[in-house]
Amino acid sequence: MASKQKDKELPEAAANLEKLGAFYLGRTYDLEQQAIRDEPLLYDAKDLTTHGICVGMTGSGKTGLCLAMLEEAALDGIPTLAIDPKGDLGNLCLTFPGLSPSDFRPWIDESEAARNGQSPEAYAGTIAKRWQKGLGEWNQDGKRIQRFRDAAEVSIYTPGSNAGIPITVLKSFDAPAPELIEDSDAMRERTQSAVSGLLALLGIEADPVKSREHILLSTILDRAWREGRNLDLPELIRSIQSPPVDRIGVFDLESFYPSKERMDLAMSLNNLLASPGFASWMEGEPLDIGRLLFKQDGSPRISILSIAHLSDSERMFFVTIVLNELLAWVRTQAGTSSLRAIFYMDEIFGYFPPSRNPPSKQPMLTLLKQARAYGVGMMLATQNPVDLDYKGLANTGTWFIGRMQTERDKLRVLDGLEGAAVAGGAMLDRRDMDRILSGLGSRVFLMHNVHEDAPTVFHTRWVLSYLRGPMTRTQIRELTAGKESAVSPPEKTRPQVKSRRPADSIEPGVEATPVISADVQQFFLPVSEAAGDGNRLIYRPSIYAAARVHYVRVSAKVDDWLNVSFLTPPPEKTSSPDWDTSSIFNKNAPTFTETPDAGGAFEEPPGSLTRERNYSKWAKSLQSYIYREQRLTVYKCKELKQYSNLGENEGEFRGRLAHAAREKRDLELEKLRKKYGSKLATIEERIRRAEQKIEKERGQLGQQKYQTAISLGATILGAFLGRKVTSYRNVGRATTTMRGAGRTMREKEDIARAEEDLEAQQLRLRELEDEFKGAIESMEAKFDISTLDLEEIVVPPRKTDIAIQPIGLCWTPWRITPAGIAEPLYE
């Protein structure tokens, strides 16, 4: 069957589950008759937690099928993170509920219109009519398009370009979550793939075991991450020049990798960083998986990461980083059997090959093995089956297979299906599968789902989005014009430290670090970029303090320690700093260098910053400030009995609630299916028997009428012809005729009663269908995330558990232009 048998037992009117965990992908298809059946193909969303692969040549309808799945996921409240190497996925933005020619006009291919002998306006009208007709044939309309548009926000991100919404992964190599650091295998995989991706960007294909470059960078990253420090590229370059270790293995550093050769590697990275064409990689918001998947209100997003404009090495680097970030995010989620989110990649050619090990392969393989436990479904597509590692895909639960280009492609797919069947403990009829694959046409696919009893052939539905083909950068710019970035950073990336005096009155400063008491701890913020020709680099004094704060509220299930850092201007007239003017870092503490940049001058610090006893006094005032002001908000959802995590904003919490609601909804849906499925099946069986009884009674009535007519005819004819029969026989025949008439009346009464019973059962069926529909609507309303109320609970820190360590003098780098304008050179 095309979907779960239990669903098929429900009447069509009650089985419209497009918003209840069922994806409408098309209708079943009869290969023998080459005809589309009326039976809809409903794919259970939770089946995608065991991942899916879509294979098909150009023109097979692969893109349409995958876009239809993403549309259905959005309608069901499930977000998608999609990597788009070809530029096709931007078509998800082209949704026109009005279906008018003017909507299509800006997006049609004018050269295609000319080939069809039409003006662009006329061709737009043709396309609009085609879309109206196509949607209507698949029981869809503009209202469903509008529901899709309302269900999820579609955004296009372009790393290394400002054509779409810019996004960067180069501002820092952030330390992974503590859970991942504690997992030695996961930590090793993340470090290796991050370094491999970076070296691939430099054109270096490095072996993790043999390459000195790979081993050195892995050592630097591993050490920094285990210390909880983030690394940006400038800091990584400095660490290559002066690594934080003296020995690697049994060899001293100079023997393993001489400083002159390390400088060559550092220069390669520096040249990449300084390249004008690479400047756009430094622009945009940092990569944040949670914010790419969910809006602030918890509703889903479809975030498209378009990489069609990048070179092969840039693509590999970016895909590797995204996969690592997704893996880190997945490991912070709670386990679930419901579908939480979808990762989709439209063409994995080159990223998951059978023989080579590119940087992207290991994190993708890890996600295929582990993401299912956290409700993240991987949906991968390709038109090159021979370039897939089918051993890695052996545990993929669903295969969507379209028309193959060559016999070699078909054999490769059969090998993959056979491996998946063996992994699932089943057997594959290779000959029958070969026959089916040979008969597939355009938009006709074979679905092999390990959760089903048998494979299904189906024809894909008409998509809601206008498939105009790959998007150019100009078209992407038009689609994203005026759109704000969906990835709003949780905190300021560049602290706004106010100048204490006019920029044009800044003194030149002294070249050497001012004399400070040895008991005062000093910190140097790294310079984020060169000061530039004609400008001066000046280090200004500030106060830096880090605090470890304990928040406890038993009723809100809060018992957590948080680290918070403060960067504060020195006090002027008062004896204590104004902590309200601080730049506050709630998640990641700033990184520091051991020494300032050469060529930088220093402002003379106020005398209060040179004396150690002041810092002890300021630490106490900071403790009081934290207790008064650093209160955190925890959100409570009474309906689902859940609390937000400490530091989790409302949008992130609503995103978790959306999934929790979906889990509860899925459980309720299973109960409704069992409750009403058996009842409906019972009534349908009664209706079937009632219909059979009516047919039987009607047949008996017809036979009885025939016998009565013969008997009556014989009586009349005998009397008319004056046959010599005894009066006894005449009387008997007449009596038989009257009895036949009586039986005829009883047969009619039996039919009437059977018809009344049928009408009663049909009425009961309609009532039960209405009851089932009402139960579904009630369940939808109950678990609608937009109707869930959140209660805010303010949690103060525990006063006795506020530890200030360290606190000291921090030197912040500034650029001073010839005009006297001061700009911070730190992040």
Structure token pair of residue 657: 């609630």
Residue 293, pLDDT > 90, answer yes
Cβ atoms of 591 and 172 closer than 8 Å? no
Q: Is residue 196 part of a domain?
A: no
Distances (CA, A) of 589 to 270, 528, 610: 25, 16, 23
State which of 2-11, 100-109, 655-664, 667-676 shows the largest mean pLDDT.
100-109
Q: What is the pLDDT of residue 593?
A: 86
**Mean per-residue pLDDT of the chain:** 82
658 and 757 part of one domain? yes
Instruction: Specify whether 738 is located in the same domain as 710.
Output: yes
Indicate the pLDDT class of residue 759, thresholds 50, 70 and 90.
confident
Mean pLDDT of 252-256: 91
pLDDT band at 424 (very low <50, low <70, confident <90, very high): low
Least confident interval from 48-57, 127-136, 415-424, 696-705 = 696-705
Task: Provide the pLDDT confidence category of residue 697 given band limits of 50, 70 and 90.
Answer: low
Residues 510 and 621 in one domain: yes
Pair (701, 622) in one structural domain:
no
Spatial separation of the C-alpha atoms in residues 325 and 283, rounded to whole Å: 18
- What pLDDT does 715 receive? 46
* pLDDT value of position 14: 36
Lowest mean pLDDT of 424-433, 496-505, 553-562, 591-600, name the range.
496-505
For the chain, what percent of residues have pLDDT higher than 70? 85
Considering the domain boundaries, does residue 427 fall inside one? Answer: no
Name which of 661, 52, 54 is nearest 343 in CA terms.
52
- Is there a domain that residue 103 lies in? no
Q: Say if residue 607 is in the same domain as residue 677.
A: no
- The span from the CA of 26 to the CA of 8, in Å, is 15
Same domain flag for 717 and 617: no
The domain that holds 729 is classified in CATH as 1.10.287
Band (pLDDT 50/70/90 cuts) for residue 69 is: very high
User: By three-state DSSP, how is residue 703 classified?
Assistant: helix
- Is 430 a residue whose pLDDT tops 90? no
Smallest CA-to-CA distance from 502 within 820, 135, 282, 55 is with 820
Q: Residue 249 in contact with residue 256, Cβ under 8 Å?
A: yes
Most confident of 107-121, 227-241, 662-676: 107-121
Over range 466-487, report the average pLDDT.
Answer: 79
Six token digits for residue 537: 């680099």
**590, HSE (Cβ side, Cα atoms, 13 Å):** 28
Whether 783 is covered by a domain: the verdict is yes
| pLDDT computed for residue 301 by the predictor | 94
Which secondary structure element, helix H or strand E, spans residue 168, and what is its range?
strand 167-168
In terms of domains, do 737 and 817 share one?
Answer: no
Structurally, the chain folds into a number of domains equal to 2
Does residue 393 lie within any of the structural domains? no
> What separation in angstroms does the CA of 261 have from each of 135, 222, 266, 268?
63, 21, 9, 11
- Split at pLDDT 50, 70, 90, the class of 490 is very low
Token couple for 202: 């430099």
pLDDT surpassing 80 at residue 509 = no
In this structure, the answer to whether residues 656 and 723 fall within a common structural domain is yes
Task: Report the pLDDT value the prediction gives residue 135, as an integer from 0 to 100.
Answer: 94
Do residues 654 and 722 share a domain?
Answer: yes
Average pLDDT rounded to a whole number, residues 58-70: 94
Domain check: are 724 and 761 in the same one?
Answer: yes
- For 687, the domain range is 650-787
In a domain, 560, yes or no: yes
In tens, the pLDDT along 781-798 reads 777 777 778 888 889 999
Core vs surface per residue 733-756: b (16+ CB within 10 A) or e: bbebbeebeebbeebeebbeebbe
Which pLDDT score, from 0 to 100, does residue 61 have? 93
Would you say residue 255 lies in a domain?
A: no
Q: What is the rounded average pLDDT of the residues 505-524?
A: 68
Q: What is the mean pLDDT of residues 230-250?
A: 85
* Structural contact between residues 88 and 62, judged by C-beta atoms closer than 8 angstroms: no
- Of 399 and 638, the one with more pLDDT: 399
**Of 805, 811, 807, nearest in space to 520 by CA:** 807
Q: Does one domain contain both 678 and 716?
A: yes
Phi, psi angle pair for 646, to nearest 5°: -65, 130
Asked, for residue 23, whether it belongs to a domain, the answer is: no
Between residues 380 and 491, which one has the greater pLDDT?
Answer: 380
pTM: 0.69
The pLDDT tens digits of the residues spanning 325-370 come to 898 888 888 889 899 999 999 989 889 998 888 889 989 999 999 9
Residues 577, 667, single domain; the answer is no
Poorest-confidence range of 135-149, 340-354, 511-525? 511-525
